[in-house]
A = this chain, B = another copy of it.
Amino acid sequence: MAVNLAAPKPETLLPVTGVTLGIAEAGIKKSQRKDLLVIKLDDGARVAGVFTQNRMCAAPVIVTREHMATGGIRALVVNTGNANAGTGEQGLAHARQTCADLAKLLNCKAAQILPFSTGVIMESLPVERIAAGLPACLADLRTDNWLNAAQAIMTTDTIPKAASRRVTIGKAGVTITGISKGAGMIHPNMATMLGYIATDARVSQPLLQKIVTYAAQRTFNAITVDGDTSTNDSFMLIASACADMPEISDAASVEYAALCAAVTEVAGELARAIVRDGEGATKFITLQIEGGASDDECRKVGFAIGHSPLVKTAFFASDPNLGRILAAIGYAGIDDLDVGKLDLYLDDVLVARGGGRNPAYQEADGQRVMQQSEITVRVVLNRGNSAVTMWTCDLSHDYVSINADYRS
């Protein structure tokens, strides 16, 4: 069902020196599926991340934040099938236990392990099954295991999500490879459910954090499937520092700009893959909001359109019922919006001008665009110079079916 999205070919996913990945079938929720992943980092790697803003954040998110403060991270461990969220003190104990179990096998401290979980909320994490699966993950550790890793973190995803780039920074060749998961409960407010990107670049810790924040804002934080912000959102950026290059430590340097752009490109591909694989999605919608007084108000307009069940069902039906988009813009929360200045385009078709229907607009033109699987909605607010691009999908019968059946 994913919209113009195929699984990446394994050979397109470039290994990142200093980063190995191992997966296992731990039987956390279902048997005979990959559900446990260990990402092992060589000495000297740095890790930065952004996390869900949901106040009900999951136990592993709390523990990961604690351990990030210590530094010297040696491994990340990720399970699917259970989110370990809404699990209180016992959930925290379970997340710490998993870190301790893996630390023992890697001969390091529990605080050097970052735990992540995804899956159903408010059920107890089966820590024994995870502990039993860890040796198999370690036996499987390889640099070319990215596609299997992407498969091991899927929940309702239908297609594994991974992307890779190779860029030259200064005189060095630098690799960036990442994976993500997510299809529902997607309205990331920091990052998608789970995203991991690694690079072999050498970059200072403050700039690594700066890059992950920059990239998240323009990619994972610019998508929505259903407006539900997950309890487990985490987007981690790893720099193994294995590339033969001077450390990037100046935010004004061309080297910083090149690395930031490349990471954002990989993150963008991963984020858009989540929307293309959105639960029940049949259309991929790009929202281009222009002429805003601030990025923030452009984002409000984008999310109002992207969250509206009425807009989303109209896309599903290929029905150019475009007044619904105007209504969503109107309630986006811009108190002093002058709708009389508003223009609305569907791809190249000018639908509304000055807040009303464009006299030259023909229903047949709107109909033609609505039937495409990829559609750009362009809103021109004509009140400033800010612009944002966001991505969403339609709302179909399958969304309801998938989420009515998820646990059964």
Contact = CB atoms under 8 A, between A and B. Distances in A.
Interface string A92-134: 0000000000000000000000000000111110000000000
A9 interface: no
A356 interface: yes
Interface in A320-366: 321-324, 326-332, 334-335, 337, 339-340, 352, 354-357
A229 B326 CA distance: 11
A228 B309 contact: yes
A396 interface: yes
A400 B403 contact: no
Contacts of A404: 313-314, 316-317, 319
A7 interface: no
A185 B310 CA distance: 7
A48 to B, nearest CB: 23
A122 B335 CA distance: 22
Given A228-B327, A328-B228, A339-B55, A90 B321 contact: no
B227 A307 contact: yes
A88 interface: yes
A308 interface: yes
Given A121-B323, A326-B122, A229 B331 contact: yes
Nearest to A337: B55
A163 to B, nearest CB: 27
A389 interface: no
Interface of A: 53-57, 83, 85-91, 120-124, 184-185, 187, 189, 226-231, 307-310, 313-314, 316-317, 319, 321-324, 326-332, 334-335, 337, 339-340, 352, 354-357, 395-397, 399-401, 403-408
12 contacts: A55-B329, A86-B326, A86-B357, A88-B356, A89-B356, A228-B309, A228-B327, A229-B327, A229-B330, A231-B327, A316-B404, A319-B404
